[in-house]
Amino acid sequence: MTRAIIHVDMDAFYAAVEQRDHPAYRGRPVIVGADPRAGKGRGVVAACSYEARAFGVRSAMPISRAYRLCSRGIFLPVRMDRYEEVSGRIFGIVRRYTDLVEPLSIDEAFLDVTGSRRLFGEAVAIGERIRAEIREHEGLTASVGVAPNKFLAKIASDLEKPDGFVVVRPEEVEAFLRDLPVARLWGVGEKTGAILRGLGIQTIGELSRWPEEALCRRLGTVGEQLHRLGRGIDDRPVVPEAMAKSMGAETTFAVDCEDPGRIRQSLLRLAERVSARLRREGLAGSTITVKIRFADFTTLTRALTLPAAVTLTDEIYHPALSLVHKVPLEGRKVRLLGIAVSKLTPKAAPGQMPLFPSDPRRENAARAVDEIRRRFGEAGIVRLSLLPSGSREAGR
């Protein structure tokens, strides 16, 4: 039986959510990421709308360059909690049609609908229904590729963005690939691309005419992979979502920081973000990792495994702070700070009872804080220790 694979890829997801939530931003260049600070900001672009892309702005671009290209753009901070909330509903839509869903990120996934066709119709009809439901229920657009395998479906979904819908039937594979640039193939980066150009190979069709042995002589094992992909062969299964291996958060300081108080405060904010994500996913973790990047881009990581899995902010923050204290910071400026929690387990999973179990009242309070922030945003409730010093004095 020919497999039926769908690749669903949301269009400019973070920026699209912002435009939907703020109608005044629609049709305007929206850039989600760090504060540009009039071209002197730090960090990178997390996502940008198609209106911003018209100015040359791209994801992962330094935010300072994005500002120079599009100074009149709308620059917004990342609202990860909001994007994850919307993503959860979108994945709820796709899982109505199959249990074989392999998330690639918060905004894209492979679906194997081979066994769903008796119930929902052919793969093309399923892809159209998914795209229509996302538009109807979330007011967002998704680009969809339908093909016999993952490789072809991924290329298809990318060809007519935004709001694209491309179908590749088994008998159309050769014609579909023939004129596409060889850079579309997985595994073709700058180095491999240069070798292929040196061989006179510009398109996938030209690559497919080369004998496998000749490609392997020049490219090693990569040659075998490219030969198969060039003919549209990809036998990899869709692997349903596995439990996340870790959850983390990091921040880049606007100005390199050497103030211990600011570092502690930033660490606490990161611990809050990670803690909220763990609760939302029903997980706990026992290994805490801290990442510190200095002004000279030297990066250090330190990790600590706890006797029991944790989920609350303080349970993450205090071990993380102890790890920071073990790093010699005197005379060094910190550029980036991060926390990750790994060795994750379901919160309700049976296991060894901790010597000092968490007070259920603390967990209830944490969930109440989560709900307030969900309804009123991050500023709805803030720890006193995270307020600016002037605000703390005024509140006494």
Based on the residue annotation, tell me whether 108 is a catalytic residue of this protein. Answer: yes
3-state class (DSSP) for residue 363: helix
Contact 26, 170 (CB under 8 A): no
* 381 Rama sector, left if φ>0, alpha if ψ -120 to 50, beta otherwise: beta
3-state class (DSSP) for residue 144: strand
Contact 80, 87 (CB under 8 A): no
Q: How far apart are CA 79 and CA 13, in angstroms?
A: 12
Contact 199, 193 (CB under 8 A): no
Cβ-based neighbours of 303, under 8 Å, separated by 6 or more:
287, 288, 289, 290, 323
Q: Which two tokens stand for residue 112?
A: 């194997």
| DSSP type of residue 115 | G
Query: H helices within 139-189, ranges in order?
Result: 150-159, 173-178
- Of 215, 161, 214, nearest to 185 (Cα)? 215
Single out the catalytic residue among 102, 108, 272, 315. Answer: 108
Bridge partners of residue 283, in order along the sequence? 346
Torsional sign, CA 361, 363, 367, 370: positive
Q: How far apart are CA 254 and CA 227, in angstroms?
A: 46
> What b-and-e string marks burial along 300-324, b requiring 16 or more CB atoms within 10 Å of the CB?
eebeeebeebbbbbebbbebbbebb
Stated length of the chain: 396
What distance lies between CA 107 and its chain's CA centroid? Answer: 7
Catalytic residue set: 108
